[in-house]
Amino acid sequence: MTYDSSGALRVVPLGGLGEIGLNCMLLEVGGQAMAIDCGVMFPDAGMLGIDLVIPDFEYLASLGDRFLGFVITHGHEDHIGGLPYALREVQAPVYATAMAAGLIRSRLEEHGLFDKTTLNEFAPRQKFELGPFAVDPIHVTHSIVDAVGLAITTPVGVVIHTGDFKIDQTPIDGRSPDLQAFAEYGSRGVKLMLSDSTNAMSRGSTGSERDVRGGLEAAFRDAERRIFFSTFSSHIHRIQQVMDLSEALGRKVAVVGRSLVNAIRIATEIGHLKVAPSLFVDIAKLSSLAPWEVTLLTSGSQGEALSALVRIAVGDHRKVEMGSGDLVILSSRVIPGNEKAIGSMVNHMYRRGARVLDAGSAPVHVSGHASRDELALMLKLVQPEFFVPVHGEFRQLSHHQQLAQSVGLSADSVFLIEDGQTLEVDAAGARRGEPVPAGRVFVDGKGIGDVSDLVLRDRRHLSRDGLLLAVLTIDQHSGELISGPDFVARGVFEQGEEAQYFEAARGVVVDTLADITPESRTDAIEVSEEVRRALRRYLGRTLDRRPIVLPYVMEM
């Protein structure tokens, strides 16, 4: 697969145009290419057995040594999470700001790739070159520190990629977005602009991160017992505010969750998080403190199964208990698809007597993405000749397209493209180019890209390992097992062997239910997940196979 360039700039989106996540954009000139970001998307409830979704890197791999490297705008997973998988396909350097580089290093170490990868740090306005691309990072404000937009000078002209941004004039660290840099490029002439579309359907402007301070302070001052605070682990400015309030009100902070511990460590090492070590307390020593002296910073704001906050909510965490009068603050947006899991988690919190605040009930969260007024201002500052909305589902891209036209761009200068659709730009103008292979690749454990879609994955899985259906009935009030488990298997056991395996599997299920709390047993989702995991472990251990396990939990 080759691309015979005639001097044009080619824009090749491999992910992020048509969905939230998977962000990966290639720019090509003269047969050489660079990538802006390389992210993942987390599976929705219908993606059974899938751990992560990554872009299809077939086209990227086809570039070989003509691919020059990845330039990262910031450290969110939907912008860096795909790197360990892409770097198995291509050997190329990675360029990132300090916070993003720290998070990337952790990911690469987990995958055994750090020693094989050149990771270069840069700062805003610290220019560097990649072949025909001269990259100028521009500081922007977002819901993570060290976020940048990019001004990329090419032989065809300047390309501006805003990265994820909002125009926060009163940020926590005092570093306002460098709007002057965008305006300077706009006054000199910008050939193409690519801009964040996440909040293109939201009117007005997005609130400042500092606006959250009042809501958090009111909640902290009203709290009479423990405070459980949960946000995305990379939201360092939000975490800084929690640390400051805890210290001011005489509370110690315990951190529960590996991703939070890692993010806090990295941010502290590079100076973005300023906190006295004496503020922290080990969770093993919480019993020595009064409830009003404790803030627990936890992961799991999206209700992820088996996360720290979910375990605490159902009374199944070994070291932390939630009790009557405790306050829970969920300081993050609800990612679409997680509504049911979060609702279930919150119900358990109320059963324990806790009070819960979220963005819908109190001013404890603001978005990190620009709304329509800010998007319009950025378009006016940059004044691009051509414009492509990026980072969003199709409806968001479409609204951003309409906004661009409303501020003066002509209809034929705004292009609405999706993953795999290309745009070619040269002195004569801009036009759609030939499409390239693009799509979603599912990561299931150690399996990467061995399935092209869910239907094919399930068919292959069934033909290889079979299906085990487990049916059981639980009392919805007490969590007691009323009947079952009964099993139906297809393609798992040899004829005549089912009975002995079914008997052992019943023991596994009964033991599993005995090991979780009575409250957890009243949650059909939690029971289903625990039973599925236990049976998969049992079958993997005894048969060295991983059949599809489908627990069916009835409540009476």
Instruction: State the pLDDT at residue 451.
Output: 47
Position with higher pLDDT, 37 vs 2: 37
pLDDT of residue 183: 98
Does residue 254 or residue 3 have the better pLDDT?
A: 254
Question: What does the angle CA 369 – CA 373 – CA 378 come to, to the nearest 5 degrees?
Answer: 75
pLDDT 10s digits, 401-452: 999 999 999 999 999 999 999 999 999 999 999 999 998 887 766 556 554 4
Look at strands 429-432 and 384-390 and give their pairing.
unpaired
State the chain's mean pLDDT as an integer.
91
| In contact, 373 and 400? CB cutoff 8 Å | no
Query: Does the pLDDT value for residue 241 go beyond 80?
Result: yes
Q: Taking a C-beta distance cutoff of 8 angstroms, is the pair 60, 14 a contact?
A: yes
8 A C-beta contact, residue 304 and residue 341 = yes
Model confidence at 106: pLDDT above 60: yes
Nearest-5° angle of CA 248, CA 252, CA 256? 130
Q: Which residue has the higher pLDDT, 465 or 202?
A: 202
Which strands make up the sheet holding 119-121, listed edge to edge? 119-121, 94-96, 67-71, 32-36, 24-29, 9-15, 423-426, 429-432
Long-range CB contact pairs, 48-52, < 8 A, 24+? 48/454, 48/458, 48/548, 49/444, 49/457, 49/461, 49/548, 50/442, 50/443, 50/444, 50/454, 50/457, 51/443, 51/444, 51/445, 52/81, 52/442, 52/443
Dihedral (Cα; 27, 33, 35, 41), 10-degree rounding: 90
Write down all domains in the chain, each with its CATH number in brackets. Answer: 9-204+367-443 (3.60.15.10), 209-357 (3.40.50.10710), 455-555 (3.10.20.580)
The per-residue pLDDT for 445 is: 61
Asked if the model's pLDDT at residue 228 lies above 50, the reply is yes
Would you place residue 238 in the very low, low, confident or very high pLDDT band (cuts 50, 70, 90)? very high
Q: What is the mean pLDDT of residues 144-153?
A: 98
**487 band by pLDDT with thresholds 50, 70 and 90:** confident
Question: pLDDT per residue over 169-204, tens digit each?
Answer: 999 999 999 999 999 999 999 999 999 999 999 999
Can you give the pLDDT at residue 463? 59
Reported as a pLDDT band with limits 50, 70 and 90, residue 549 is: confident
**Quick check: 395 pLDDT over 50?**
yes
What pLDDT shows up at residue 480?
A: 86
Q: What is the pLDDT of residue 333?
A: 86
Query: What's the confidence (pLDDT) of residue 448?
Result: 62
Q: Per-residue pLDDT tens for 305-349?
A: 778 999 999 998 989 999 999 999 999 988 777 888 899 999 999
